Amino acid sequence: MFTSFATLRLLPIAEATMLSYLSPVMTVALAALLLSERPGPRRWLGVALGLLGAAVMTLPHFTNNSPALLGVALGIATAALTAGALVQVRALNKTESPGAIAFYFALASSVAGLATLPLGWSMPDASVWILLVLNGVFGGSAHIAMTLAFRYAEASLLAPFEYLTILWAAAIGAAIFAEIPGFSFMIAAPLVVAGAFLASPGILLGLRRGRLRRQDKRG
């Protein structure tokens, strides 16, 4: 969480989100290594496309010696830490309830956050308090939903779904922060979305079932 917040401070929201999509690649590898999951060739191809899209997105920062390189490094660290957390959630779901996992995650994060108090805090005004509360509500709800998802599916199967949020990140960045995606982002986004569909057969199966139901109703 700390590295993801720092990445958002240094990079546009769409680029920071794109960097976080390195985590599915790491999640697949860790799930295969630690949880004995065996992703098929389609999932590996999907995460490869996602990795290629992330590389296309971040390449300009390296070639131009951009000062945003620190943001890129923090984004990669976020992806690695996220992958480790997701694998742990998958393992914990065997013995713990989703509510307990979410509660202790929030508790540990709060304790770690309080440890930064000596580094210098500022008192938020009313508008910032509202944003902080909304951030907690949305983040907590998302964490519970994610925990439930890992109870019913393999980590390597769920990981590619993260790719689809890139569309939301680009839209929010443009609408709220006036961050217009560049040319490299336009190339990377289709690669990432294609990777999500190839790597997750559940998406393709759901689309196929929906098409069949519509055909049955017309018949």
- Does residue 45 lie within any of the structural domains? yes
What DSSP state is assigned to residue 28?
H
Residue 191 CA to residue 59 CA, distance in Å, equals 15
- Does residue 133 lie within any of the structural domains? no
- Does residue 107 lie within any of the structural domains? no
- Does residue 127 lie within any of the structural domains? no
Residue 156 CA to residue 45 CA, distance in Å, equals 12
- Does residue 110 lie within any of the structural domains? no
What's the domain range around 197? 2-97+155-218
- Per DSSP, the three-state class of 125 is coil
pLDDT for 167: 78
Say which residue, 101 or 189, is predicted with more confidence.
101
Residue 153 CA to residue 52 CA, distance in Å, equals 25
Instruction: Say whether pLDDT at 203 is over 60.
Output: no
Say which residue, 8 or 24, is predicted with more confidence.
8
pLDDT for 130: 95
- Does residue 128 lie within any of the structural domains? no
pLDDT for 11: 86
Closest CA relative to residue 50, chosen from 183, 216, 200, 213: 200
Question: What is the residue whose two structure tokens read 């999932």?
Answer: 43
- Does residue 31 lie within any of the structural domains? yes
Number of domains the chain contains: 1
Lowest mean pLDDT among 29-43, 68-82, 142-156, 168-182: 29-43
Residue 194 CA to residue 177 CA, distance in Å, equals 27
Instruction: Say whether pLDDT at 212 is over 60.
Output: no
- Does residue 132 lie within any of the structural domains? no
pLDDT for 163: 65
CB atoms within 10 A of CB 38: 10
Residue 185 CA to residue 137 CA, distance in Å, equals 30
Instruction: Say whether pLDDT at 134 is over 60.
Output: yes
- Average per-residue pLDDT for the chain: 78
pLDDT for 26: 75
